[in-house]
Amino acid sequence: MSKERKRYILDEDQIPREWYNIQAEMPVKPLPALDPATKKPLHASDLFHLFAKELCEQEFNQTDPWIKIPEPVRDMYKFYRSTPLVRAYGLEKALGTSAHIYFKNESVSPMGSHKLNSAIPQAYYCKKEGVTNITTETGAGQWGASLAYAARLFGLEAAVYQVRVSYEQKPYRKSIMQTFGAQVTPSPSMSTRAGKDILTATPNHPGSLGTAISEAVELARTTPNCKYTLGSVLSHVSLHQTVIGLEAEKQMEMAGEYPDIVVACFGGGSNFSGIAFPFMRHNFTGERKTRFIAAEPASCPKLTRGRFIYDFGDEAGYTPLLPMFSLGHNFTPPNVHAGGLRYHGAGVIVSQLLKDGWMEAVDIEQLESFEAGLLFARTEGIIPAPESCHAIAATIREANRCKETGEEKVILFNLSGHGLIDMAAYDQYLSGSLTNFHVDDATIEKNIRQIEH
């Protein structure tokens, strides 16, 4: 094993110069977002009041497959990109599998996750437009930390609403955001009308990404020279994340292999899109037949048990109506430690791809995810984020199938972040106090019926 190459890293001049826009090449385009009041399709200009204009143009661009990465953004990418592609020899040996397992290590970014790939361009476009303040939401805190850092890079003031349960579970993520000068508020809060309404109805509400989005959007609407930013779900976020898969393509070529299976954890779709979309374009042409697997928590199973409907992206109903697989915007996920995956809906692009059969989805129980994360840590030396543990668990399932069949399939998964700020969750798992959460069908069906009505 010592003679085998472990890591593949691209030179700086090989860092992508363009993002891949999968919307331009999808066999079936995503359905349009709708204005909640008129139920008519939205256009880019309809969102100029909320997002930076160039981000709105990217969101609605269904014609250009390649979009140039601005040089100031690419220069910032050079701080940590390319990220390594790593052969997981230790995990392969522990499993006794015939599969070849690779992972893209996005945990090496300054913030420890893939989220910085979109935070930098979003802050850049806001600064270019003359914006002075930006708001956002965050679940586990990876996105909030990345946005706080990116805001500091471009001299912007950032306000972050963090899901209350994660705010309490992961205090050091709050500290990271504050280190870079961001204002951090647990959501739901009494600082917005949306937060007050939610807390009035449910005083001990643990928060969700839906509640935090509502508050961040409201603050952006009511603050002069302020724009809203988002860490997942929307199409321009998926676009920025494709640097992951574009690098991985070149690195897999260096390794002399091509993935039969691509796996990523799934909350709203940012890291799944990033690793999967560049490879998926070859499936569209028939050149390849790669399988793409999104691994979501069993406690928030929008892809595996949700319904494809038009729904709001937030709890208060401030956002456009999005065509997506959803559990209902009023669904409150259980308090699992994978805070970044506690979102009720899926991005519109991923939802359309799942609907059309270009990808698959599996759900993972919390205990299975931590069991997988612990094995990965002990064999590869990296403690993964609770979100990433879901991708590892799904990878292990596929590797074990290869062990049974003797097939030498190539599996690539995205290690979306490290778990060094999530050790309280590992403490609970190691002590035996961590549990699974069950979401009953009746609750899901009730939420869906309310939306459809």
**8 A C-beta contact, residue 314 and residue 217:** yes
CA distances from residue 69 to 111, 143, 233, 367, 387 in whole angstroms, order as listed: 21, 20, 20, 40, 28
Q: What are the structure tokens assigned to 186, written together?
A: 């647990």
d(CA 256, CA 237): 30
Identify the pLDDT of residue 366: 95
**Residue whose C-alpha is closest to residue 288's, from 278, 273, 301:** 278
Q: By three-state DSSP, how is residue 101 classified?
A: strand
Question: What pLDDT digit, counting tens, does each position of 62-88 carry?
Answer: 999 999 999 999 999 999 999 999 999
Mean pLDDT to the nearest integer, 84-97: 98
- Going by their DSSP bridges, the two strands 321-326 and 183-187 should be labelled as unpaired
When pLDDT is cut at 50, 70 and 90, the band that residue 336 belongs to is confident
Identify the pLDDT of residue 3: 59
**Is the predicted pLDDT of residue 278 greater than 90, yes or no?**
yes
**Is the predicted pLDDT of residue 254 greater than 90, yes or no?**
yes
The alpha-carbon radius of gyration of the chain (Å, integer) is 20
d(CA 106, CA 39): 39
Identify the pLDDT of residue 335: 75
Q: What are the structure tokens assigned to 19, written together?
A: 């993002």
**Residue whose C-alpha is closest to residue 359's, from 419, 304, 438, 416:** 304
Order across the sheet with 410-415: list the strands.
Answer: 7-8, 85-87, 100-105, 410-415, 261-265, 291-297, 360-364
Cα-Cα end-to-end distance for the chain: 59
Q: Amino acid identity of 59?
A: E
Question: What pLDDT digit, counting tens, does each position of 109-168 carry?
Answer: 999 999 999 999 999 999 999 999 999 999 889 999 999 999 999 999 999 999 999 898
Identify the pLDDT of residue 1: 39
d(CA 213, CA 200): 18
d(CA 178, CA 248): 33
Task: Tell me the average pLDDT of the chain.
Answer: 95
d(CA 48, CA 35): 14
d(CA 38, CA 420): 47
Residue 330: alpha-carbon gap to chain centroid? 20
Return the percentage of the chain with pLDDT > 70, whole number: 99
**Is the predicted pLDDT of residue 302 greater than 90, yes or no?**
yes
Specify burial of residue 168 (Cβ count, 10 A radius: 0-12, 13-18, 19+).
middle
Q: By three-state DSSP, how is residue 128 classified?
A: helix
**Residue whose C-alpha is closest to residue 17's, from 68, 73, 61:** 68
- Going by their DSSP bridges, the two strands 183-187 and 157-163 should be labelled as parallel
Please name the residue that has the structure tokens 């992972």. Answer: 103
Q: How many residues does the chain have?
A: 453
Identify the pLDDT of residue 333: 82
Q: By three-state DSSP, how is residue 427 classified?
A: helix
Mean pLDDT to the nearest integer, 320-337: 89
Please name the residue that has the structure tokens 């997981």. Answer: 88
Largest CA distance in the chain: 64
**8 A C-beta contact, residue 146 and residue 154:** no
String of DSSP letters for 13-50: GGS-SEEE-GGGT-SSPPPPPB-TTT-PBP-GGGGTTT
**8 A C-beta contact, residue 221 and residue 194:** no
